[in-house]
Amino acid sequence: MALTIASAGHGAAPSQVICELGRVVVADMPPSSDRGIYFIETNPAQDGLMKMCPHLAHKLPAGYAAADDDARSRAAEHVPTPGPQRPPAVIATIGVPLIAADGRSATVKVTTECSGMCGSGMLYRYVRTAKGWRRDGKPTPSWVS
């Protein structure tokens, strides 16, 4: 029996299809060469792609690490604190892809939280081709802080 997800305005999609697209989304994360700063939220207890597809936590792109408690604490520092400054952290959380009823396109929300006064929400659009899923254009900003 396949696990399915449904969302208002979108059809149900089997978890296999969601995870297949999720693998592409993870691989599409912007390149990072700053190790120790860029993370992807992989905690399966939190809502998002990694809850539905926990195996993707082992397929992070170069330059990214799985978010841990230290990274979450650093990313949550939004005002200067007394004493030595800790290294900044940027954590991306990938939402569960919302696949269109016809199965040919999908949108994925990626949010970031980072040290200082920064964060963002971006919408990525993907289309299914004969060769699999591919991103369609540049991401669209939903919000920026």
pLDDT, position 2? 32
Predicted confidence (pLDDT) per residue in 60-74, tens digit:
999 999 999 999 999
pLDDT beyond 90 at 78:
no
Q: Residue 111 sits in which domain range?
A: 4-144
Higher per-residue confidence, 5 vs 47: 47
* Predicted local distance difference test score (pLDDT) of residue 117: 82
pLDDT of residue 12: 59
**Number of domains the chain is built from:** 1
pLDDT above 60 (res 90): yes
Average pLDDT value for the chain = 89
Burial call 115-131: b when 16+ CB within 10 Å, e when fewer: beeebbbbebebebeee
Could you tell me how many residues make up the chain?
145
Q: How confident is the model at residue 24 (pLDDT cuts 50, 70, 90)?
A: very high
In which residue are the tokens 């330059």 written? 63
pTM for the whole thing? 0.86
- Tell me the H-state helices in the chain: 15-27, 49-52, 69-75
Cβ atoms < 10 Å from Cβ of 81: 8
